Structure 1
Amino acid sequence: MAKMSMSKLGSNIGTIMFVLAILKNWFPQELGDIKRHLQRLIRYLYPYITVTFDEYYHVNDFVRNVAYTAIERYLNAHFSPRAKGFRGGVIGGCKSVFLDMDCYEEAIDEFEGAKIWWSSRDGEMPCFKLTFHRKHKDIITQRYLQHVVDEGRAISIQRRQRRLYTNTAKATWTCIAFDHPSTFDTLAMDPKKKEDILNDLITFMKSEYYYKSIGKTWKRGYLLYGPPGTGKTSMIAAMANFLKYDIYDLELTSVEDNTTLRKLLTHTSSKSIIVIEDIDCSLYLTGQRKKKKDEVPVKKVDAMDKKKKGSEVTLSGLLNFIDGLWSACGSERIIVFTTNHVEKLDPALVRSGRMDMHIEMSYCCFETFKVLAKNYLNIESHELFATVSQLLEETNITPADVAGS
């Protein structure tokens, strides 16, 4: 009924404006003042407000309107079942097919007692139009629009294909789709330790305002250490799948110097995990730093010598990004170091505030074995389990060796 009244009122106003346009040709000067007064009257009588959200900020702009994208996701999630026309798409290597509302569809929403009309338009500048009664202006502008954007962003994160990035010799990132199947359910490790890590990740995700209140960048560091084959890489994949974050796998040995490192790291996105695997093997970042009297004098080197020398990334250059001034260039990021020899790492690299949580990825225990038995054989109990438990207490064997045996 309200929509019919709004359409009827709009039609009447359109008729008035048409008549005025004709009369203007006959009495141009006299109608000028009358037209202005009529426009004020129409604005006063017309009870609805319309807000337009264009897909791009300008016709020739390449930057998509963030609000438009969020609205698109929100409307598709809530109103696509009622639509008559759809656009199809695929996510994650043909593993998930989705349907979006087609153009020119309409939707009616309600929020805190306010009725809202949404419509879409295609063409040179696609857009969404939001119409509501002006008495609900505060509700719409102060709460509803933020609700739509927040929920739309959350849906986009759920739907998007996650990426695995690696750095190139030209100091840029290249990526592929990230489809690693590891999850915390399939991760072979002690259940109590797994629960502690999950709780820590959940706390981190919900701590944006806490980090702001204490004046720190919203980031967290994890050090994964232990013998090869204990599941460090699987842990990183499980973290990414749980958080729905992209992964940036940083190969330090191919980074020319601190400036290049800074350029790479500032081009990583929020909601991502930055990984440096086997950091004990990455450049000279391990062991105790030399005292001044033991330092070798700096020698001038020409371009050819510098090229042969390789990477000149330093420990201080890496630390400056982890928690120095450059650490504020981004938020909601996790930094993960892995190592097989934790004792070799410089204490400055792994102290609290840089690597906040140290996670030992150890040899296979009986609880870990039960996870592997469930994953590989789909069994949760067996008459040989008691024997296996006793043998695992007497020997050190990695989960990778158990799974491959």
Structure 2
Amino acid sequence: MNFWESLFARIGSLVFIFTTLERFIPSQFWDTVDIYLRKLAFFFNPNVEITFDEFPPEDYGRSKAYAAIQAYLGTNFSGQTARLKATAAGKGRGVTLSMDDCQEIAEVYKGVKVCWMRSTKYPRNNVISFKESVDEKRAYILSFRQKDRNVVVGSYLTHVLGEGKAISKRGRKQRLYTNVSGDDWGSDDKMMWRSVGFEHPATFETLAMDPKKKKEIMDDLIEFTKARDYYAKIGKPWKRGYLLYGPPGTGKSTMIAAIANFLRYDVYDIELTSVSDNTNLRKLLIEISKRAIVVIEDIDCSLQITGKRKGNHSGHKRDNPTVEDAVRKAGDGGDEREESKVTLSGLLNFMDGLWSASGGERIFVFTTNHVEKIDDALIRRGRMDRHIEMSYCCFEAFKVLAKNYLDLDSHHMFDAVRCLLSEIEISTADVAESLVPKSAEMGADECLENLMAALRKGKGEAEKMGGERQGGEVFRRLKKHIRRRLVAQK
């Protein structure tokens, strides 16, 4: 066995011994060893170190300073390191580079030399797992000489954070977030949100709605974005609420996408049934960034909270369950699975309680098909500042759809469509479906003929249902009259 073979064999033995010791020796021992090793390193290299954790223990969310440093170093100094991490920057925008673990970047600022290093600590345990750990602790470490402390702390860090935020803003891409189930969080709150790039193409220009109504909404949104000082003056959190209500297929979700694209805001779509209790709902709120739209769709179906006040004004739990409770439990299968404990009070506090002021420039949007089922306290003015009815398709909305799908501004069949739309109720989704060409050879005339056929069919069904209702009403009145005559004869 030559020298190199012997060396590698000894190294392998040492690694095996160290791994075995690490498995059986308590983690507190290794933490103590780490402290003394740091003291020893400081004795030979008395530099000052500042650590920027990705998830500081004293905060709920991801550190904004960490994100700014990541953008600053990745953009300006990625060419200095041999190992880099790459993430997709978005459609047609290449990749975003950042330094890998244990890599160093040196910079000279106003004659002061500083050094950055990225560090990742992994949890010590006796469990072998191929799943990515949620307890990884990432951080950027800045080191510099003690004599340069005033320059680094006084102006260099301000320079880095300002530049990093500006870089992030220039390369910012809208995101669509959704909350994950509380069972999937593990031990770290950073798992609460998952996101993808927001690429919905809807805009106010393509939104099928009356132009005057669209203009009012757009003006209100612009006024909101410029009202920071006004909200501070009146002592209210910088937020606004929109209630979108109307029948299915009238464009409520499309409206949300159009608002997001108009303001360039991120969208946070909250699934309330995945939130275990009010505390975790509050944690979700704290994690939401500024310039965001918070969406709860179908609020009347999200949880059994919107009608609780109507059935139980006292707010106390009923000792004797009713027949309806038993039927509801049987309908749910009668199992004992864990259900969300989010309450109406918790949701109200989420919207405009003390914790709602933790961020800024947020828009809350609720959607519902049945506005009459929602508790008045949830949608009163001040919580839902604007109530926007997404009604059935009108002629102005049809013209927008005709422009979108057929590139038509006018047509000889438009007058007939106008007359039929004034006589029946049809959703914009149904109108759009009729206007979609079913083949490449299908022209605008055929699409409009399909729409006319659908409108005529809808009109006939409406007249038939109206006649049946009228006949039923006559029959009920006749029975009531006969019953009264029989009673009088007795």
TM-score by length of 1: 0.64
Could you say which residue in structure 2 is the equivalent of 1:167?
A: 180
Which residue type is aligned with residue 273 of structure 2?
Answer: T
CA drift of 1:164 comes to: 2.9
- The answer as to 2:374 corresponding to 1:348 is no
In 2, Cα distance between equivalents of 1:209 and 1:269: 19
1:215–1:339 CA distance, 2 compared to 1 (3 A): same
Which residue, out of 202, 224, 227, partners 1:182? Answer: 202
**For 1:126 and 1:220, how far apart are their aligned partners in 2?**
39
Give the 3 Å change call, closer, same or farther, for CA 190–57 of structure 1 in structure 2: farther
1:330, 1:290 → 2: CA distance? 35
Whole-angstrom distance in 2 between the partners of 1:342 and 1:307: 31
For residues 15-68 of structure 1, give each alpha carbon's deviation from its aligned partner in whole angstroms, at most 9, with x where no partner exists. Answer: xxxxxxxxxxxxxxxxxxxxxxxxxxxxxxxxxxxxxxxxx9548878555665
Quick check: 222-231 or 212-221, which moved more?
Answer: 212-221
List alignment gaps of at least 5 residues for structure 2: 1-48, 56-62, 78-85, 98-104, 119-139, 143-154, 186-191, 321-333, 435-490
Q: 1:329 to 1:254 in 2, by over 3 A?
A: same
For structure 1, which segment, 168-177 or 203-212, has the greater mean C-alpha deviation from structure 2 after superposition?
Answer: 168-177
Distance 1:223 1:297, change over 3 A: same
Deviation at 1:264, TM superposition (A): 2.4
Q: Which moved more, 1:199-208 or 1:265-274?
A: 265-274
**2: CA distance, partners of 1:148 / 1:294:** 52
- Distance in 2, Cα, partners of 1:269 & 1:192: 31
1:219 pairs with 228, 235, 239, which one? 239
User: Once structures 1 and 2 are overlaid, which stretch shifts more, 64-73 or 274-283?
Assistant: 64-73
Deviation per CA, 1:345-390, whole angstroms, max 9, x where unpaired? 1111111111011111010001100110111111111111111111
Task: Tell me the equivalent position of 2:307.
Answer: 286
Matching of residue 271 in structure 1 with residue 308 in structure 2: no
**TM-score, length basis structure 2:** 0.54
Alpha-carbon distance, 1:290 to partner: 4.4
Against the structure 1 CA distance between its residues 293 and 121, is the aligned structure 2 distance closer, same or farther, given a 3 Å change threshold? Answer: closer
Q: Which residue of 2 aligns with 1:398?
A: 427
Residue of structure 2 aligned with 1:200, choices 213, 220, 235: 220
The answer to whether structure 1 residue 316 and structure 2 residue 365 are counterparts is: no
Go from structure 1 to structure 2 and tell me whether the alpha carbon gap of 1:59 and 1:390 turns closer, same or farther (over 3 Å shift). Answer: closer
- Whether 1:95 aligns to 2:92 is yes
State whether residues 245 and 370 of structure 2, in contact with CA within 8 Å, keep that contact through their aligned partners in structure 1.
Answer: yes
- Share of identical aligned residues, percent? 50
Are the equivalent residues in 2 in contact too, given 1:57–1:65 (CA < 8 A)? no
Instruction: Report which of the two structures shows the higher radius of gyration computed on alpha carbons.
Output: 2
Contact 1:287/1:344 (8 A) holds in 2: no
* Distance (whole Å) between structure 1 residues aligned to residue 233 and residue 75 of structure 2: 30
Partner in structure 1 of residue 25 of structure 2:
none
Equivalent residue for 2:254?
Answer: 234
Structure 1 residue identity aligned to 2:235:
G
Q: Deviations over 1:137-169 (max 9, x none)?
A: xxx99xx9999788556424xx32423323324
Deviation at 1:297, TM superposition (A): 3.3
The root-mean-square deviation of aligned C-alpha atoms, in Å, is 4.4
- The answer as to whether partners of 2:52 and 2:141 remain within 8 angstroms in 1 is no
Give per-residue Cα distances to partners, 1:162-185, cap 9 Å, x unaligned. Answer: 233233242753424222111111
SS in 1 for 2:209: coil
Greater Cα shift, 168-177 or 248-257: 168-177
Report the AA paired with residue 273 of structure 1. Answer: I
- Where does residue 403 of structure 2 map in the other structure? 374
Task: Give the SS at the match of 2:310.
Answer: coil
The corresponding residue for 1:246 is 266
How many angstroms does 1:71 deviate by? 6.6
Closer, same or farther in 2 for the Cα pair 1:293/1:276, shift >3 Å?
closer
